[in-house]
Structure 1
Amino acid sequence: MNTFNSVPDELSGPRLMRQDWTRLTFIHWAVDPDVVAPLLPAGTRPDVLDGVTYVGLIPFEMRRAGFGRGPAVPFFGDFAETNVRLYSVDDEGHHGIVFRSLETSRLLVALGARIAFGTPYMWSRMRIHQGGDRIDYTTRRRWPRPRGAGARISVRIGEPIAEPSAIEQFVTARFGLHTRYLGRTLWIPNHHAPWPLRTAAIESLDDELVAAAGLPGIAGRAPDSVMYADTVRTEFGAPVVIRDSVGQLEVVVVEAG
């Protein structure tokens, strides 16, 4: 098992983005690391806990998103999102996330993220409805293919989790992401407080997004872990290029306001 720090390091240098993540459900399936290894960027490998890694389906709401240290962007800074993600580690010791897809209800957000960092954002119709301790998420992709791929998820929110288990820490104590862009693998760090986790139970789950992300046959079985979380505020720092085949490491500085 790879050990990792459940408390994030403070960011140094410029900030790329600031945003709130709220009304978030973590849904995870345990899988053999060999299943996801071909889907990870060069220079990374599956992060493993007790012999398995995890595939996550994460619906939530983005709020107050903005660039650098500036204010939130009106309208475009608030939107629903659903992502399919994997868990990665590199030789520099960065334990992160690899996004296979990110559905968003804002077309300009999807286009901007693809252009800026190659992040696989998709434009989708999305809705979040909450009544009491039940929350419902609906997603249907508009662009790109496969058009119409989506998910309908209903979750019952439970009690606060006082002491997260090893699995719960493994899939939530993540303070950066790996992504492939212009032939290089980037590590993009972020910083946020520990998640205010709660127990949760799936009432219904009809998902096509995990299969569309290159992982068929997984979302058809019961998840191995389900949690809910309220709001955290996060900041993203400047990217670092992960060590390549000739052992070079460089820092990419992105100017931020």
Structure 2
Amino acid sequence: MKPLDPQGPPLPTHQIMSQWWRDISFLHWPVEPALLAPLLPRGVRPDIFDGSAWVGLIPFRMVDAGIGTGPPVPWLGTFAETNVRVYSVDDRGRHGVTFLSLEAQRLLVVLGARLGFNVPYEWASMQVRDHAAPGGDEGDGRVLTYTTRRFTRSRAAGGRPPRSRITVRVGERLGEPSPLELFLTARFGLHTQVAGQSLWVPNTHGPWPLRSAEVLELDDELVVAAGLGTFARTTPPASVLFSTGVRTTFGFPQRL
């Protein structure tokens, strides 16, 4: 498989929002493509790397989100988020992300994303704690803990509000990302479905400044709540990465 380009497309002519994704950890597991196929929008199929589809558990801080070309929205535009995502490709060859859930601190953001784009945001109590750590440039040796507790219950999580607690230690900067690391991070759009119509929502950003990372603690119920089974509770992630972040810009949705 040809590696994806780490450099995003040009800025869209018409943009709907922009934001920073900061202090982001990428935890990934390979799964059988058949597990994901029923969960994707019509006209979209699992994106495959070396015969496997991939599930990501991605905690981070959304910072300075703004509407259109306007300035950041105070308070409402900065919050913690954790998403469960899978990788998808459509018939035009656009490699993107399909979100199975997104936890967020801001109720208005949750309601707006659900109503506008049918993106499965969930309101949650969340925190990102950056533990004091000695030395290193751009985060080498940092330890971060991401916690979340959803306000609504999930049948797949035993009928209780699902929780997640993830602690990672940041490692060395990566020189040249591997093809798999690009596959898991170089994504420039999302697939979703609104009122029965499958959509592609483009976004663009520069290359991720990627670093290795180590999971120190993982107690997660979000992957289970997304209907994917218990592997995230029983199996260590096959890939763990960290980035200080990028700024990203979203364009208008396009029909598939």
Name the TM-score, length of structure 1 as normaliser. Answer: 0.91
Question: What is the CA-CA distance between 1:5 and the residue it aligns to?
Answer: 3.4
Contact 2:3 2:182 in 1 (8 A): no
User: What are the equivalent positions in structure 2 for 1:132-171 lying under 5 Å apart?
Assistant: 132=133, 133-143=142-152, 145=154, 147-171=160-184
Aligned position for 2:136: none
Name the TM-score, length of structure 2 as normaliser. Answer: 0.92
Identity of aligned residues (%): 52
Aligned position for 1:223: 237
Q: Which moved more, 1:145-154 or 1:78-87?
A: 145-154
Aligned residues: 242
Cα deviation code 1:111-147 (max 9, x no counterpart): 0100111110000000110112110010100036455
Cα deviation code 1:175-231 (max 9, x no counterpart): 000001111110000000100111100001000000101101220211000000002
Distance 2:227 2:12 in 1: 35
After TM superposition, the runs of 4+ consecutive aligned structure 1 residues lying more than 6 A away are: none
Distance 1:6 1:37 in 2: 26
User: What are the equivalent positions in structure 2 for 1:78-93 lying under 5 Å apart?
Assistant: 78-93=78-93
Contact 1:122 1:144 in 2 (8 A): no
Aligned position for 1:60: 60
Contact 1:135 1:156 in 2 (8 A): yes
Distance 2:57 2:168 in 1: 13
Cα deviation code 1:124-175 (max 9, x no counterpart): 0001101121100101000364552010111011110111111110010000
User: What are the equivalent positions in structure 2 for 1:29-68 lying under 5 Å apart?
Assistant: 29-68=29-68
Aligned position for 2:248: 234
Question: What is the CA-CA distance between 1:11 and the residue it aligns to?
Answer: 3.4
Secondary structure at 1:231's aligned position in 2? strand
Question: What is the CA-CA distance between 1:2 and the residue it aligns to?
Answer: 6.6
Match of 1:178 among 191, 198, 209: 191
Contact 1:123 1:144 in 2 (8 A): no
Distance 1:118 1:5 in 2: 28
Aligned position for 1:106: 106
Secondary structure at 1:34's aligned position in 2? helix
Secondary structure at 2:191's aligned position in 1? strand
Question: What is the CA-CA distance between 1:35 and the residue it aligns to?
Answer: 1.1
Question: What is the CA-CA distance between 1:7 and the residue it aligns to?
Answer: 2.5
Instruction: Flag structure 2 segments of 5+ consecutive residues without an equivalent.
Output: 134-141
RMSD over aligned Cα, in angstroms? 1.2
